[in-house]
Amino acid sequence: MSHYDMHQLFSNANMQINNLLKWFCANKLSLNARKIKFIVIRPNDRHFDITGLNTYIDNTMWKRIGNNCEEKSANVWEIHID
């Protein structure tokens, strides 16, 4: 997802995440929210303050990866993302 306003971006993301969760439940599938991570990608000359902005699924907060984060990278189907 993309948006110029970070608050709107996270609001939109959380709304779509809830839609995704409903779809998974309707199709008798599940997500392991503890394994889901997200990354904010931006141009080098743009800086955003995302303090207090989080994404949730089923009341579990997703972990953010990237610079200035606890985790710097993640593996997705054997592809290393950093």
Residue 56 tokens read as: 């949730």
The residue segments making up the domain with residue 25 are: 6-81
CA 70 to the chain's CA centroid: 15
Considering the domain boundaries, does residue 1 fall inside one? no
In a domain, 35, yes or no: yes
Element (H, E) at 81: strand 79-81
More confident residue, 41 or 7: 7
Report d(CA 76, CA 4) in Å as an integer: 27
Structural domains counted in the chain: 1
Question: Can you give the pLDDT at residue 72?
Answer: 67
> What digits encode the pLDDT tens for the residues 26-73?
999 887 777 777 777 777 777 766 667 777 676 777 777 776 666 766
43 is a domain residue:
yes
User: What residue has token string 């306003």?
Assistant: 5
Residue 14 lies in a domain: yes
Triad 77, 81, 82: Cα angle to 5° = 160
Cβ atoms < 10 Å from Cβ of 63: 17
> pTM of this prediction?
0.62
